[in-house]
Structure formats: structure tokens, C-alpha cells
């Protein structure tokens, strides 16, 4: 059986682990980031840092948030004296590596999963900081406010259109020439920018459905794929390793 060629569309600074997993599982990884992340020292982030002593909770939704805080305010995490909630194992491990204790991580690695945990714990009347990208979905801060909390929302990084569009166009060419067996998406924006670059979105969607196995990290990303009528699968646990395990298991079953 030939080894599958798997396209990785996540940001370059997060892609190494995904590429390593593909190769360790016996595949070939093709990296074509459809999104770039840039830490920024925004006015809202400055305000969050200035108000750190008011915080009852802080929520980290991605590792890039921690990277940004360490870049601009290296003392912030060392002096943080509040409870910490994270979404996802990778974010939790990076927080712990920085000397923090994770107080809450939802089983469902989504904003909805975290909201449910806050509801179950009846967390209300608290001041909650959420540093993240401005392009993130509004459901988390809105829901926490509806529970009666004050939310300090801060922009810690920007989600940018890919700086290397050439790599994405080359990926689309490879898809057209049937050189790619599977493609992975780890966030809604990786899907949106992928199709934004494509000159013929309907043709690309048909190619994915006809020739590729499309795997996404979870239901939130899946909703965007549905918008383009793409057939997809995703794992029960929303992590990159689980996504890749599912990809290889499914690909081998289909190609036996």
C-alpha cells in the first residue's frame, strides 16, 4: 500500500507537530498554511495586563495567546494570581510549562464546552479576562456576560491572510492533478482562507469530495466545510493527534 500524501493547512508556527505525526504514521506531509498568526501588543491587551489584579479568572483559548503575553509582558504570567481555564491539551501543557496551574479544561475542546463548565460551576459575578484574536467567534465572551460576569476582552494576536499564497496555490494545483490524498483543517479560518484563495470554489469543493479525504479537528470547523458542501470526518476528541489517527485509520480502510 502506498503512503498517503496529507495536506496541512494550519499556521506554520503550529504545523511541525502535525507534520511529524503524519510522517510517524507512515504518510507524507505537504505544508501549505492558509493562515498566519501574529502576536500584537494591542491597547486592549495593555488594559488587561494593567487590570490583572482584578481578575478572578483568565481564559486561554490557544497557545498563541501565551506566546503573545510572554513576548510583550514576560512578567505577567509569573505574577498571575487568579484561576485559569484553557481550551485544549496543547494550551494547557504550555500554560503548565510556564508555571501555571490549570483549574479548568472542558472535555469538549470548544468555547461551547467551556461555557457549559462555567454554567455547571455556577460561575457568576466574576471578572474574567480573555486574551485572544479579534476574529474569534463572539460566543464565549457573550455567554460569560450572560452568566453575570464582567469580561475583559483583549486582542493578543491577529489571524492574517496567508503570507505565502504561492504555497496554497501550489497545493490547489496538486489537488487538481490528484497528487494529494487527504487534507486537514484545524479551525474555521483555515477553511475560509483556503477557499478565498481558490479561483473556482465550486470546482475545488468537487475535487475535495471526489478525490480527497477531508478531516477537520471538530464540529466548529465542520460547520464551515458544510457551507461549501464538503464531506468530512472529525474525531471524538478534538486534538491534532486524534485527528491524524482518524485520518490514517479511515484512509487505510478505504484503500485496503
Q: Is the pLDDT of residue 44 over 60?
A: yes
| pLDDT given for residue 249 in this prediction | 96
User: Which pLDDT does position 138 carry in this prediction?
Assistant: 92
Query: Above 60 in pLDDT, residue 198?
Result: yes
Average pLDDT over residues 3-10: 95
Residue 15 pLDDT greater than 90, yes or no: no
Q: How many CA atoms lie within 13 A of 84 on its CB side?
A: 22
Query: What Å distances lie between residue 90 and 85, 125, 181, CA to CA?
Result: 13, 29, 27
Domains 5-35+162-254 and 38-160 share a fold: yes
- Summarised one tens digit per residue, pLDDT across range 239-251 is 999 999 999 999 9
Checking if the pLDDT of 185 tops 60, the result is: yes
DSSP-derived pairing of the beta strands 182-185 and 5-8:
parallel
Split at pLDDT 50, 70, 90, the class of 1 is low
Supply the pTM of this predicted model.
Answer: 0.86
CATH number attached to the domain at 5-35+162-254: 3.40.50.10090
Q: Is the pLDDT of residue 79 over 90?
A: no
pLDDT-based confidence at residue 74 (cuts at 50, 70, 90): very high
In this prediction, residue 135 has a pLDDT band, given cuts at 50, 70 and 90, of confident
Distance, in Å, from the CA atom of 66 to the CA atom of 1, rounded to the nearest integer, reads 42
Is residue 103 within 8 A of residue 83, CB to CB? The reply is: yes
Q: What percent of the chain has pLDDT over 90?
A: 86
Q: What is the mean pLDDT of the chain?
A: 94
Q: Is the pLDDT of residue 7 over 60?
A: yes
**pLDDT at residue 41, rounded to an integer:** 97
Which pLDDT score is estimated for 73?
96
Domain covering 38-160: architecture: 3-Layer(aba) Sandwich (3.40)
pLDDT bucket at 12, cuts 50 / 70 / 90: confident
What residue spans define the domains of the chain? 5-35+162-254, 38-160
DSSP the chain: -PPPEEEE-S-HHHHHHHHHHHHHTT-EEEE--S-EEEE---HHHHHHHHTGGG-SEEEE-SHHHHHHHHHH-TTTTTT--SEEEESSHHHHHHHHHTTPPP-B--SS-SHHHHHHHHHHTT--S-EEEEEEETTS-THHHHHHHHTT-EEEEEEEEEEE--S-HHHHHHHHHHHHTT--SEEEE-SHHHHHHHHHH-S-HHHHHHHHHHH-EEEESSHHHHHHHHHTT---B--SS-SHHHHHHHHHHHHHHHT-
Whole-angstrom Cα distance, residue 253 to residue 256? 6
Q: Reply yes or no on whether the pLDDT at 159 is more than 90.
A: no
Amino acid at each position: 500500500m502506498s503512503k498517503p500524501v496529507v495536506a496541512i493547512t494550519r499556521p506554520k508556527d503550529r504545523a511541525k507537530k502535525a507534520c511529524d505525526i503524519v510522517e510517524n504514521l507512515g504518510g507524507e506531509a505537504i505544508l501549505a498554511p492558509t493562515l498566519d498568526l501574529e502576536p500584537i501588543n494591542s491597547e486592549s491587551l495593555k488594559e488587561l495586563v494593567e487590570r490583572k489584579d482584578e481578575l478572578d479568572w483568565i481564559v486561554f483559548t490557544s497557545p498563541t495567546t501565551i506566546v503573545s503575553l510572554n513576548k510583550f509582558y514576560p512578567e505577567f504570567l509569573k505574577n498571575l494570581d487568579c484561576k485559569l481555564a484553557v481550551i485544549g491539551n496543547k494550551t494547557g501543557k504550555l500554560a503548565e510549562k510556564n508555571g501555571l496551574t490549570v483549574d479548568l479544561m472542558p472535555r469538549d475542546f470548544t468555547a461551547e464546552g467551556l461555557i457549559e463548565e462555567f454554567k455547571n460551576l455556577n460561575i457568576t459575578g466574576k471578572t474574567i479576562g480573555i486574551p485572544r484574536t479579534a476574529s474569534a467567534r463572539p460566543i464565549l465572551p457573550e455567554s460569560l456576560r450572560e452568566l453575570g460576569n464582567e469580561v475583559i476582552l483583549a486582542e493578543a494576536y491577529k489571524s492574517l491572510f496567508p503570507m505565502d499564497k504561492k504555497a496554497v496555490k501550489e497545493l490547489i494545483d496538486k489537488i487538481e492533478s490528484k497528487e494529494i490524498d487527504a487534507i486537514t483543517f484545524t479551525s474555521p479560518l483555515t477553511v475560509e482562507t483556503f477557499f478565498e484563495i481558490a479561483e473556482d470554489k465550486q470546482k475545488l469543493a468537487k475535487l475535495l469530495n471526489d478525490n480527497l479525504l477531508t478531516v477537520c479537528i471538530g464540529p466548529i470547523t465542520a460547520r464551515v466545510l458544510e457551507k461549501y458542501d464538503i464531506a468530512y470526518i472529525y474525531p471524538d476528541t478534538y486534538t491534532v493527534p486524534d485527528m491524524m489517527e482518524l485520518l490514517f485509520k479511515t484512509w487505510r480502510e478505504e484503500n485496503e
